[in-house]
Chain A
Amino acid sequence: MSETLSITISILFHGLAMAMVLYLISVGLSVTMGLMGFVNLAHGAFAMAGGYALVLLMKQQNWPFGLALIAAIVICVVLSLILERLLYRRLYGGDELDQVLMTMGLIFASVGAATWLFGPVSQSLEPPAVLRGQINFMGRDFPTYRSFLILCGALLVTALWLGLERTRFGAQIRASVDNLRMAQTLGINTSRLFTIAFGLGSGLAALGGGLGADFLNVGPNYALEYLVYFLIVVAVGGLGSIRGPFVAALIVGVSDTAFKYLAPQYGAFFIYAITMAILLWRPRGLFGQSA
């Protein structure tokens, strides 16, 4: 009995940590999808860039963890804003196929660039000394770094929800997701809103990619390899929603951990099956708006 309990707690713990990472990376994708209807398959590339920046700044420049993390976010936000101006902006409201192609091209370019710059081997994250080892909580040992991950994620999720529900900017985003034309008519500068939301989403992705280097190995194929996870979280959660992806990330994180722990011989098979089942039941995702 106590063994079952400790397995359950362990699965929930690691699943929660993974869910936080998935949520941080995917929430920006969900908002940009909801806002602009833009199929940004290359979102994972920003997470990869964040991961590389964090790991390499710590390893090669010996920057402290916190500083390197902030630098990684800044690098990604700047990068994403440049790309938004140069490329994404041209395809807003355009053909879905063009968006898929352009972002697919970005993915391939990111794979090539990462292999060229950092080699084909995936990089591992060395957490700072404070975050290594185990932490004792209610008579059980938990890995410190993952506890930190959950704490960070929880804080950020709360901040994000408060920001979206309570601030003027959040209200503008919600209004634009609900009805873009009406929002424009009311004088909201949606073009600027897109840019800010895009940069914010990429920054969050960089944060998720950096912190989550523990779960999702930072290698050149990152954007291809984990694309299916990010898309599952967004599609199951429902486009344009902030809460939906969180629930979806929880489902994916916990069930992925559980199946990999309890039935490793099936690998990721069940995750995909569950996803198909959920979307068969609710094609617009759990929290998607019905049209």
Chain B
Amino acid sequence: MTDSVSPGSPVDRKAVIDAFARRHRFKWYEALPWVLAAGCYFIFDGYHALGAQIFATILFALSLDLLIGFAGIVTLGHAAFFGVGAYAAGIMAANGWQEPLSQLVVAAAAASVVGFASGMIVLRTAGLTLLMQTLVVAALLQELANKWSSVTGGSDGLLGMKIDPIFGVFRFDLFGHTAYVYCLLVLFIGWLIARNIVYSPFGRSLTGIRENTNRMHAIGAPVDQRKIVIYTISAALAGLSGALIAQTTALVGLNTLALSKSGELIIMLVIGGVGQLYGAFIGVPLYMIAQDRFSQIDPIFWYFWIGLFMIFVVVFARGGVLGVCGRFLDRWRSR
């Protein structure tokens, strides 16, 4: 916010317009995550499978950030779309359609259809009722996947998935080398989409809806329509992420639709910081690497400590890592 200028004279107006035009330009630090991710490919050779999981989950958290951070729609059922995407890709792969890229497209389409349909119902409400409705949608789908075991494998999970090499060349290997690059590229595309949305007029109107819904109604913004659009887009991105996880692990289970999945995702996002587009890039790796380390030592304690940590973040460290760093920066600058 260093380049805010008070409007008035034509010169100032031009400065304002310039500031707006500059706002969405790529900045140098936005390349950091990608440089890091590319570097990690060569440094941490043994951890490519984990890396692929992290990238897919970042995409998932990014899609949630669009809802919670930008549109202000607090949801507890985002795993529904992740699960739909995972099951869509998994069911295709288990039934003879083994081409991965078309699976991604179908998974995103299926998740966006579910997102649109449930959004039409869910987004009519707000507050606790909205939370509960999103939760019920996920529970409904989980029960469907559980009981429709002839297609989904029920509580045993979907087994026997086979995935063809990407473009017929890059085979998914045991060590996750292909998966790492594949997930990173899909995440990059997803990030470009999310970034464009956030900086578009549409994205600004979402922020407006979050900050003051009534005023947005008053200035004539089609609030309900915009909420549904972002809900559908976010569902599609979550579906993509689910399909990535399904393809790279060759396993889909009921836990992809569970409440604990949504809850963990919110926690990851909040650790990084909500509504800042890069929270997902910080929170998800922190969470998943810590989980990978600590849950080997003591898996039971993991939930306990992450719960306590969450309470601590909410009460003492508002805004997550990015929020705390931002406050430190502000204080340092104002000296």
Contact = CB atoms under 8 A, between A and B. Distances in A.
A61 B60 CA distance: 47
A108 B271 CA distance: 15
A96 interface: yes
Interface string B299-335: 0111111111111011100100000000000000000
B128 A112 contact: no
A290 to B, nearest CB: 13
A101 B307 contact: no
Interface in A86-108: 87, 90-91, 96-98, 100-102, 104-108
B64 to A, nearest CB: 11
Contacts of B125: 279, 283
B307 A105 contact: yes
A267 B300 CA distance: 29
A92 to B, nearest CB: 13
B270 A101 contact: yes
A111 B129 contact: no
B136 interface: yes
A108 B302 CA distance: 9
Interface string B263-275: 1001100100010
Given A108-B304, A283-B124, A87 B136 contact: no
B140 A112 contact: no
Nearest to A86: B315
B129 A279 contact: yes
A232 B132 contact: yes
Contact of B147 (A97, A231, A266): A266
B53 to A, nearest CB: 20
B133 interface: yes
Query: B121, B132, B146, B305 — which one has the most chain A CB atoms within 10 A of its CB?
Result: B132
A261 interface: no
Interface residues of B, number: 44
B135 interface: yes
A54 interface: no
Contacts of B68: 97
A260 B64 CA distance: 34
B143 A112 contact: no
Interface string A256-291: 000000000111110011011001100111000000
A224 interface: yes
A239 interface: yes
A109 interface: yes
B128 A234 contact: yes
Given A279-B129, A284-B129, A272 B263 contact: no
A79 interface: no
Contacts of A276: 121, 133, 136-137, 140
A122 interface: no
B284 to A, nearest CB: 16
A228 B274 CA distance: 25
Given A87-B315, A91-B314, A112-B300, A104 B274 contact: no
Contacts of A284: 129
Nearest to B258: A224
Interface in A132-161: none
Contact of B129 (A97, A115, A273, A285): A285
A67 interface: no
A56 interface: no
A101 B310 contact: yes
A121 interface: no
A252 B127 CA distance: 21
B128 A231 contact: yes
Contacts of B300: 112, 115-116
Contact of B303 (A112, A265, A275): A112
B116 to A, nearest CB: 15
B139 interface: yes
A205 interface: no
Interface in B202-246: none
Contact of A111 (B131, B144, B147, B307): B307
Given A112-B303, A115-B300, A275 B314 contact: no
Contacts of A16: none
A100 B76 contact: yes
A104 B266 contact: yes
A220 B310 CA distance: 19
A33 interface: yes
Given A39-B128, A239-B128, A273-B140, A105 B311 contact: yes
B37 interface: no
B95 interface: no
Nearest to B298: A116
A182 interface: no
B140 A269 contact: yes
Interface string B163-202: 0000000000000000000000000000000000000000
Contact of A90 (B133, B135, B139, B315): B315
7 contacts: A101-B266, A101-B267, A104-B310, A108-B304, A228-B135, A231-B132, A267-B146
Given A105-B311, A232-B136, 8 more contacts: A105-B310, A108-B263, A108-B310, A231-B131, A267-B147, A276-B136, A279-B132, A280-B121
**Top 7 A-B residue pairs of the complex, sorted by shortest distance between their CB atoms:** A112-B304, A105-B310, A109-B307, A108-B307, A112-B303, A231-B132, A272-B140
